[in-house]
Amino acid sequence: MIAELQCVVLDCSAPRELARFYHAVLGGEVDRPDRRWSLDEAWSTLHTPGGLVLCFQGVPDHRPPTWPHPERPQQFHLDFGVPNLDTAHEEVLAQGATLLDAGEDARGWRVYADPAGHPFCLVRH
């Protein structure tokens, strides 16, 4: 092993707001003190219950991906397992997500954008 994943960093224009969005989706703790980085208006974190740390980095002229159009590709996205797609759908929309692709019910997943425009999927598990 060469390295250990420390965190996943998402660029955005409003780091604390995006951390709160993902907190509503995943739970955990927003901006928990951590010796690995300092917290300020340009850097916010979410320590999830499962141990993954999501970090949100302020970028002055953030331009979100234009999924599925390749003009500004998504570059990566997050998949979240959920027991009930319909319930989770309503909950992420209430937190500020935007539905990008409802798909077909048999497919078992739907594509959304977080409030900063990053694509993520809800996947039935």
Domain with CATH 3.10.180.10 in the chain: 78-124
CATH dotted code for 78-124: 3.10.180.10
pLDDT of residue 105: 65
Rounded-to-integer distance, Cα 110 and Cα 102, Å: 5
Domain with CATH 3.30.720 in the chain: 8-58
> Rg of the chain over CA atoms, in angstroms?
15
Residue-wise pLDDT for 87-109, tens only, equals 999 999 999 999 999 876 667 88
For residue 6, name the pLDDT band (cuts at 50, 70, 90).
confident
Phi-psi region of 96 (alpha: psi -120 to 50; beta: other; left: phi over 0): left
Domain 8-58 = CATH 3.30.720: yes
pTM for the whole structure: 0.84
Strand duo 53-58 + 8-12: pairing:
parallel
